[in-house]
Amino acid sequence: MTDIPKDRSRTGDGTRAVRAGLPEPVKHEPTLPGPVFAAHFHLPGEVTGPYSYGRDDNPTWTLLERAIGELEAPGRDDVETLVFASGMAAISSVLFSQLRAGDAVVLPSDGYQVLPLVRAQLEAYGVEVRTAPTGGDAQLEVLDGARLLWIESPSNPGLDVCDIRRLVQAAHAQGALVAVDNTLATPLGQRPLELGADFSVASGTKQLTGHGDVLLGYVAGRNAEAMAAVRRWRKIVGAISGPMEAWLAHRSIATLQLRVDRQNATALAVAEALRQRPEVSGLRYPGLPDDPSHKTAAQQMRRYGCVVSFTLPTRARAERFLEALRLVEDATSFGGVRSTAERRRRWGGDAVPEGFIRMSVGAEDPEDLIADVLRALDESAESAE
Ligand SMILES: *Cc1c(COP(=O)(O)O)cnc(C)c1O
């Protein structure tokens, strides 16, 4: 593989996204080299160079890791990015490589629904787990003596936001590392490393790849020693991305800015339409000027995401609403070009009301989507009579 081409850190997001991670052009070669399927590489004699065994490294990962690195930390060459089999593989690689028995860690109490399982595992290994809600910077109160602060902002599914710069400052002042789950924002919405965090961790399964057909995760970090431990963890656990998934992800990043701008603009329009409806309560979208998250979000985010959360009066009403939608699939996950929505309580994990809906806004025409949502709200009310 060839070297990283000239500096793209000063271009716009769209320009950077379409070229992110591409090697210098080579005559008769494709712009984005195809996936390299290899369990092992020719390795005569001494072990030199990066590619020897497919669990340790792969040229298709290398290009994708460069692409994500260029988006998470444009213009910085002190940042290392590692891709993983899934967002959970990436999250676990940071937590389990950095924490030892006797350490304390601060996790969000309102974060991704698998975190309670991670918590139980950490506790089984003798790590003290403290939790705090995302909004209001409540993490500050439980930070004392912690080794790692884990932030999820905006939080999934409640869409609360915390002041990342402020929390990083407090954590670093007492020697704690900070990791930010950047899944919901994507690197075009928020760049945690520039806000001071040590790790930006994300699921690439969501809006980063955006087509609902790939599971992927990554860790970008600027602390070389910590990242060496994360890399070692990937090798030990073997939670590696397949070359095909890595290649699909890289191909999808070319359209990231297009998708994000379209989906996020429509998400704001959907939120504005929902707020007119008397049956909708607890409407949350960080891009709404009067959302409780907006002030802090505006200080640290450049785009506000494609997820809108709201609550309908009852479980039955929410179920009828989801069933009445024609352009929005009842499915979990978020960030894809096809809109999805679900009643979050069906999983049992999140502390949300029975009628709580998390909607992921896709790339459909905004008028079509809003009309579908409003019609489904009307129909779900009528059938209650
Ligand atoms: C989906 C998600 C994850 C987990 O990612 P997977 O790719 O499904 O393993 C982690 N954090 C957040 C905020 C998520 O939304």
Q: Which atom of ligand 1 is nearest to the CA of 90?
A: 9
Q: Which atom of ligand 1 is nearest to the CA of 88?
A: 9
Tens of pLDDT, residue by residue over 285-336, are: 999 999 999 999 999 999 999 999 999 999 999 999 999 999 999 999 999 9
Mean pLDDT for the chain? Answer: 95
Distance CA 32, CA 108 (A): 38
Question: What's the pLDDT score for residue 48?
Answer: 85
Mutate to test the pocket of ligand 1, among 86, 91, 112, 218 (most ligand atoms within 8 A of CB): 112
Q: Which atom of ligand 1 is nearest to the CA of 204?
A: 7
For atom 4 of ligand 1, the residue with the nearest CA is 87
Is 310 within 8 Å of 318 (Cβ atoms)? Answer: no
Residue type, 184: L
For atom 11 of ligand 1, the residue with the nearest CA is 112
* Local confidence band at 22 (pLDDT 50, 70, 90 cut-offs): very high
Mutate to test the pocket of ligand 1, among 110, 152, 182, 205 (most ligand atoms within 8 A of CB): 205
Q: Which atom of ligand 1 is nearest to the CA of 333?
A: 1
Task: Give the residue-averaged pLDDT of 350-359.
Answer: 93
Give distance in angstroms: CA of 115 to centre of ligand 1. Answer: 10
Q: How many C-beta neighbours within 10 Å does residue 172 have?
A: 15
CA 308 remoteness from chain centre: 15
Prior bond to 154 cis, omega within 30? yes
Task: Give the residue-averaged pLDDT of 33-51.
Answer: 94
Tens of pLDDT, residue by residue over 269-289, are: 999 999 999 999 999 999 999
Question: What's the pLDDT score for residue 383?
Answer: 54
Distance CA 171, CA 340 (A): 36
Whether pLDDT at 260 is above 90: yes
Domains 11-253 and 257-382 share a fold: no
* Local confidence band at 6 (pLDDT 50, 70, 90 cut-offs): low
Question: Closest Cα to residue 274, out of 369, 365, 362?
Answer: 369
Whether pLDDT at 1 is above 70: no
For atom 2 of ligand 1, the residue with the nearest CA is 203
* Local confidence band at 47 (pLDDT 50, 70, 90 cut-offs): confident
Share of the chain above pLDDT 90, in %: 94
Task: Give the residue-averaged pLDDT of 183-190.
Answer: 98
* Local confidence band at 225 (pLDDT 50, 70, 90 cut-offs): very high
Whether pLDDT at 4 is above 70: no
Q: Of 3.30.70.20, 3.90.1150.10, 3.40.50.620, 3.30.2130.10, which CATH number belongs to 257-382? A: 3.90.1150.10
Give distance in angstroms: CA of 25 to centre of ligand 1. Answer: 34
Task: Give the residue-averaged pLDDT of 338-358.
Answer: 93
Give distance in angstroms: CA of 353 to centre of ligand 1. Answer: 21
Distance CA 149, CA 151 (A): 6
Mutate to test the pocket of ligand 1, among 84, 203, 237 (most ligand atoms within 8 A of CB): 203
> Domain spans of the chain?
11-253, 257-382
Question: Closest Cα to residue 183, out of 262, 105, 98, 91?
Answer: 91
Query: Tokens for 286?
Result: 């960080």
Give distance in angstroms: CA of 7 to centre of ligand 1. Answer: 31
Share of the chain above pLDDT 70, in %: 97
Question: What's the pLDDT score for residue 255?
Answer: 98
Mutate to test the pocket of ligand 1, among 83, 84, 88 (most ligand atoms within 8 A of CB): 88
- For 274-288, the three-class secondary structure string (H helix, E strand, C coil) is HCCCCCCEEEECCCC
Cite the DSSP H helix spans in the chain: 13-19, 59-72, 87-98, 115-124, 164-173, 224-237, 243-253, 256-274, 294-300, 315-324, 366-382
- pTM equals 0.96
CATH topology (fold) of 11-253: Aspartate Aminotransferase; domain 2 (3.40.640)
Whether pLDDT at 29 is above 50: yes
